[in-house]
């Protein structure tokens, strides 16, 4: 039974995932109609609370909500709570006072949706928190693999790139493992986080070995501006060592598919010729993202749930906020 | 003048290796002695009801936030929290605003403490001006004003040549230099222990090597200079090996460990509770075991709270944005009694690490019940069950991961200079 919130794949069981994927398969048909709207969530208010810009994910959730006839409101916030001098709890309580039926949260720091969920009366869907989880992305990836391969059980899935900074990697590791696939990760040692094998995957620094016999090869987006020179010496060296092209893909199964959460750095993590055509299924992922998110919204907002047992009423203190948090070093 | 006889308790005085059911007589703020069946003639009697009677606890690492951040804590609230937790003396860190890098600040703290704090306050002065790691402070003038040690604490002195001079010069003032050993470049943005938990949470990791590197560097500099180096809040197993070897080589290095590093691991961070964000971070179960062992063996000399109050709203932010630190004074005794219950420390060794050793290391009066010593005592009921509620505590802040938890063992009474300043039924009695 899916809980009130969808905060991460780590919290879901295999049967939860199967229910979500089956529901999404039913939602796919709505997107093919001339009038792409059903009244399922009519009168419900969904808030897209994005602390980090993400046009794709935000748009996908917005379209999903609108196809279910919900009122979707985008609430974008930039900067940290410290720079705005508004705590996360204040933001959460402000939104809560507007009585939304569902809040979708994206933040660049891990754990923010979890803390928001402690305060909000409405359920929360995590739309990506730092390098922690991105459950809707992993679910749409699983939906795409189901569509392409007819199964997940027994497949070999290789995730290539910046595993350390990737929420997509973590959610997919949990998801595909729970569904019975063998998950491998590959990247330069500077992009493999400490003790990654404790998550039940095999880690590789040799791309050829990592994709040997793989059914699914998933490339991750590299944050070039931030990490070039720190985690890899140059884009050129990264592309030649870990970038996927047809030559490297020969080591995977003949019918292997190539996935990417987007947007693609062409010529870096994926060769130009791989980005657009089979075996790439990138646009199928995007298409499935809408149906998958419709399923999540329906399962979370469309069903009557008991009230949150502990609403976590935050106590406010009467401290003077104008005081500067000055002084020398930290503690 | 005033005579106070404490009866019916178990005397624990590590300075005399004494663990016996005896009475303790106090007169005019000093200890007269401990003995069997002392006459109660002319004395007020305090019935210890079977509690432990120990020299008052001494915390060599607390942040009392005055001057400058009185919205988090001040010398009055910090002092009350201290005596409620069984502490009679506190050394407070220099990262106030302004920093305690000038004798005028040291004197201000001592003057305020004299008026406001039921516990004795011993200011730690900055090692460099403005805690910036460049220019050393006037250590002689600071010492004469009352500073007991020098430390930039969390603002680690990264320049080894500055650190060398600070250690060298500190020998003139004959006071220890306390270091928060952490290479801030290697730590980078790390907020949780680097390892499986950080990887699961997707939060930036802080590797054990960041601490070990600086422990190793500062040990070599202490050897070079002959200074007394005190390593604050040791958190990883690797540091312990370095300290043990240095001591065998005769380097003057001492060390402390916090209650939270002795009892919590990085698993406590799994809920993203920002009250579990501390510096250095909570470590692995293996580190925790090594720390308990090192404390039992005496490689780590003392326990210290690193009491670090922060306003609730400062902690209600992203995990990476939350200021590091948790409260400690009101929970330290109860939390660390766990080490007595599991046999890591005998009651006598427990008291030694909270009282006698800190006094000896830092040259404080106290830490003993010998005749003529200041009558600073704590009565401990090791079995009393209670529930800690940070909102009801004496500290102005509430940032404790233990709030709401059941605790076993508690200070029953605290006595400073012969005066009862805390009683568990009557609360803090301002002197």
Place of tokens 């219950």: B341
Average pLDDT across chain B, whole number:
97
At B41-89, the pLDDT tens digits run 889 999 999 999 999 999 999 999 999 999 999 999 999 999 999 999 9
Q: Which residue in chain A is spatially nearest to B270 when comparing CA positions?
A: A111
Q: How far apart are CA A236 and CA B104, in angstroms?
A: 58
Spatial neighbors of B405 by CB under 8 A, at least 6 apart, are B387, B388
Q: How far apart are CA A158 and CA A215, in angstroms?
A: 8
| pLDDT at position B1 | 53
| pLDDT at position B380 | 98
A315-319, B114-118, B281-285: lowest mean pLDDT where?
A: A315-319
Q: CA nearest A292: which of A28, A105, A80, A11? A: A28
Q: Which residues of A174-198 are buried (b: 16+ CB within 10 A; e: fewer)?
A: bbbbbbebbbbbbbbeebbbebbee
Q: Which residue in chain B is spatially nearest to A315 when comparing CA positions?
A: B312
How many A-B residue pairs are in contact by the CB < 8 A criterion? 144
* A167–B contact, CB cutoff 8 A: yes
Spatial neighbors of B78 by CB under 8 A, at least 6 apart, are B62, B64, B65, B66, B90, B92, B117, B119, B307, B309, B329, B395
Average pLDDT across chain A, whole number:
90
Q: Nearest by CB to B68, from A90, A326, A330: name it.
A: A326
**A326 CA to chain B: closest CA distance, Å?**
6
A213-227, B11-25, B134-148, B399-413: lowest mean pLDDT where?
A: A213-227
Residue B65 · residue B112 · CB < 8 Å: no
| pLDDT at position A319 | 38
| B33: phi then psi, degrees, rounded to nearest 5 | 165, 170
Angle, alpha carbons B421-B331-B350 (nearest 5°): 85
A74-88, A174-188, A223-237, B372-386: lowest mean pLDDT where?
A: A74-88
Q: CA nearest B123: which of B57, B81, B61, B77? A: B61
3-state secondary structure at position A25? helix
Q: Nearest by CB to B272, from A115, A315, A317: name it.
A: A115
| pLDDT at position B119 | 98
- Across residues B237-263, what is the average pLDDT? 98
Q: Nearest by CB to A167, from B202, B271, B316: name it.
A: B202
Place of tokens 């306390």: B178
- Across residues B293-299, what is the average pLDDT? 98
Known catalytic residue at B59: no
Which of residues 5 through 64 in chain A touch B, CB cutoff 8 A? 10
Q: Distance from first CA to last CA of chain A, Å, rounded? A: 44
Q: Which residue in chain B is spatially nearest to A81 when comparing CA positions?
A: B317
Of the options 2.60.40.2130, 1.20.210.10, 3.40.50.1370, 3.30.70.120, the CATH number for the domain spanning A9-133+286-301? 3.40.50.1370
Which of these is catalytic: B101, B306, B338, B389?
Answer: B306
Residue B125 · residue B153 · CB < 8 Å: no
Contact B202 A129 (CB under 8 A): yes
Q: Which of A166, A170, A231, A331 to mutate to test the interface with B (most CBs of B within 10 A)?
A: A331
CATH fold of B55-362 reads TIM Barrel (3.20.20)
Task: Report the percent of chain A where pLDDT is more than 70.
Answer: 90
* A115–B contact, CB cutoff 8 A: yes
Extents of the domains making up chain A: 9-133+286-301, 135-280
Q: Nearest by CB to A110, from B152, B202, B324: name it.
A: B202
Q: How far apart are CA B74 and CA B92, in angstroms?
A: 11
A86-90, A249-253, B379-383: lowest mean pLDDT where?
A: A86-90
Q: How many CB atoms lie within 10 A of CB A315?
A: 8
Question: Residue A78 above 90 pLDDT?
Answer: no
At A264-322, the pLDDT tens digits run 999 999 999 898 888 999 999 999 999 999 999 999 998 655 455 443 333 333 333 33
CA–chain centroid gap for B142, Å, is: 21
Question: Residue B144 above 50 pLDDT?
Answer: yes
Q: How many CB atoms lie within 10 A of CB A159?
A: 27
User: Which residues of chain B are within 8 Å of residue A130 when distances are taken between CB atoms?
Assistant: 202-203
Residue B44 · residue B399 · CB < 8 Å: no
Of the pLDDT bands very low, low, confident and very high (cuts 50, 70, 90), residue A53 is confident
Of the pLDDT bands very low, low, confident and very high (cuts 50, 70, 90), residue A77 is confident
Question: Residue B431 above 70 pLDDT?
Answer: no
Separation in Å, CA A178 to CA A161, A173, B47: 22, 8, 62
| pLDDT at position A277 | 85
Q: What is the dihedral of CA B128, B134, B135, B139, to 10 degrees?
A: 30
Angle, alpha carbons B304-B274-B195 (nearest 5°): 80
Contact A114 B271 (CB under 8 A): yes
Angle, alpha carbons B208-B211-B214 (nearest 5°): 145
- Does the fold of domain A135-280 match that of domain A9-133+286-301? yes
| A192: phi then psi, degrees, rounded to nearest 5 | -105, 120
* A269–B contact, CB cutoff 8 A: no
Task: Report the percent of chain A where pLDDT is more than 90.
Answer: 79
Model ipTM value: 0.89
Strand-strand pairing, B18-20 and B23-27: unpaired
Strand-strand pairing, B18-20 and B229-231: unpaired
Q: Nearest by CB to B99, from A81, A316, A328: name it.
A: A328
User: Which residues of chain B are within 8 Å of residue A323 when distances are taken between CB atoms?
Assistant: 69, 71
The CATH-assigned architecture of domain A135-280 is 3-Layer(aba) Sandwich (3.40)
């Amino acid at each position: 039974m899916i809980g009130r919130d969808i905060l991460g794949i780590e919290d879901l069981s295999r049967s939860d995932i199967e229910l979500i994927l089956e529901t999404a398969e039913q939602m796919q048909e709505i997107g093919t109609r001339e009038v792409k709207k059903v009244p399922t969530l009519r009168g419900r208010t969904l808030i897209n609370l994005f602390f980090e810009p993400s046009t794709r994910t935000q748009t996908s959730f917005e379209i999903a909500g609108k196809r279910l006839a919900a009122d979707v409101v985008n609430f974008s916030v930039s900067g940290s709570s410290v720079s705005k001098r508004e705590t996360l709890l204040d933001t959460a309580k402000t939104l809560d006072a507007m009585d939304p039926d569902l809040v979708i949260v994206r933040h660049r720091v891990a754990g923010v949706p979890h803390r928001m969920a402690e305060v909000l009366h409405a359920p929360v869907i995590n739309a990506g928190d730092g390098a922690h989880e991105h459950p809707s992305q992993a679910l749409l990836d699983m939906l795409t693999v189901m569509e392409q391969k007819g199964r997940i059980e027994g497949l070999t899935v290789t995730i290539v790139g910046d595993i350390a900074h990737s929420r997509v990697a973590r959610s997919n590791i949990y998801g595909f493992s729970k569904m019975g696939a063998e998950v491998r990760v590959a990247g330069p040692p500077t992009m493999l986080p400490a003790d990654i094998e404790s998550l039940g995957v095999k880690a590789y620094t040799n791309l050829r070995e990592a994709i040997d016999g793989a059914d699914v090869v998933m490339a991750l987006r590299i944050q070039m501006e931030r990490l070039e020179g720190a985690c890899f010496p140059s884009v050129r060296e990264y592309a030649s060592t870990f970038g996927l092209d047809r030559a490297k893909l020969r080591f995977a199964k003949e019918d292997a598919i190539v996935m990417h959460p987007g947007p693609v750095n062409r010529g870096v993590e994926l060769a130009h010729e791989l980005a657009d055509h089979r075996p790439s299924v990138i646009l199928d992922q995007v298409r499935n993202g809408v149906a998958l998110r419709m399923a999540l919204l329906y399962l979370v907002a469309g069903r009557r749930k008991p009230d949150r047992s502990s609403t976590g009423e935050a106590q406010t203190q009467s401290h003077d906020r104008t005081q500067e948090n000055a002084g020398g070093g930290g503690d | 003048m005033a005579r106070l006889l404490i009866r019916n308790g178990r005397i624990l005085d590590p300075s005399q290796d004494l663990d016996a059911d005896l009475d303790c007589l106090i007169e005019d703020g000093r200890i007269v002695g401990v003995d069997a069946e002392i006459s109660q003639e002319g004395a007020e009697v305090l019935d210890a009801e079977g509690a432990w009677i120990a020299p008052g606890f001494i915390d060599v690492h607390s942040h009392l936030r005055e001057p400058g951040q009185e919205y988090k804590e001040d010398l009055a609230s910090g002092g009350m929290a201290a005596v409620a937790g069984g502490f009679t003396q506190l050394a407070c860190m220099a990262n106030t605003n302004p920093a305690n890098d000038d004798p005028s600040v040291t004197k201000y703290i001592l003057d305020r403490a004299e008026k406001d704090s039921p516990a004795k306050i011993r200011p730690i002065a900055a090692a460099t001006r403005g805690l910036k790691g460049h220019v050393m402070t006037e250590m002689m003038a600071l010492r004469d004003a009352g500073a007991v040690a020098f430390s930039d604490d969390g603002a680690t002195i990264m320049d080894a040549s500055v650190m060398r001079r600070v250690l060298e010069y500190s020998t003139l003032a004959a006071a220890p230099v306390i270091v928060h050993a952490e290479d801030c470049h290697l730590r980078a943005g790390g907020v949780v222990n680097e390892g499986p938990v950080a990887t699961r949470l997707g939060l930036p990791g802080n590797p054990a090597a960041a601490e070990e590197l600086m422990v190793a560097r500062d040990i070599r500099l202490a050897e070079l200079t002959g200074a007394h180096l005190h390593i604050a809040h040791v958190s990883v197993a690797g540091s312990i090996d370095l300290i043990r070897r240095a001591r065998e080589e005769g380097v003057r290095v001492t060390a402390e460990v916090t209650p939270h590093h002795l009892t919590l691991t990085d698993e406590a961070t799994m809920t993203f509770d920002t009250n579990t964000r501390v510096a250095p971070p909570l470590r692995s179960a293996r580190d925790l075991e090594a720390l308990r062992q090192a404390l039992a063996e005496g490689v780590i000399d003392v326990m210290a709270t690193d009491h670090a109050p922060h306003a609730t709203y400062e902690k209600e932010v992203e995990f990476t944005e939350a200021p590091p630190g948790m409260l400690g004074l009101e929970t330290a005794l109860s939390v660390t009694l766990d080490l007595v219950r599991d046999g890591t420390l005998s009651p006598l060794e427990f008291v030694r690490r909270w009282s006698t050793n800190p006094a000896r290391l830092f040259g404080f009066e106290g830490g003993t019940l010998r005749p003529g010593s200041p009558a600073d005592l704590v009565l401990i009921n090791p079995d009393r069950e209670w529930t800690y509620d940070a909102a009801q505590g004496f500290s102005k802040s509430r940032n404790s991961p233990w709030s709401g938890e059941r605790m076993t063992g508690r200070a029953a009474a605290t006595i400073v200079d012969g005066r009862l300043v805390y009683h568990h039924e009557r609360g803090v009695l301002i002197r």
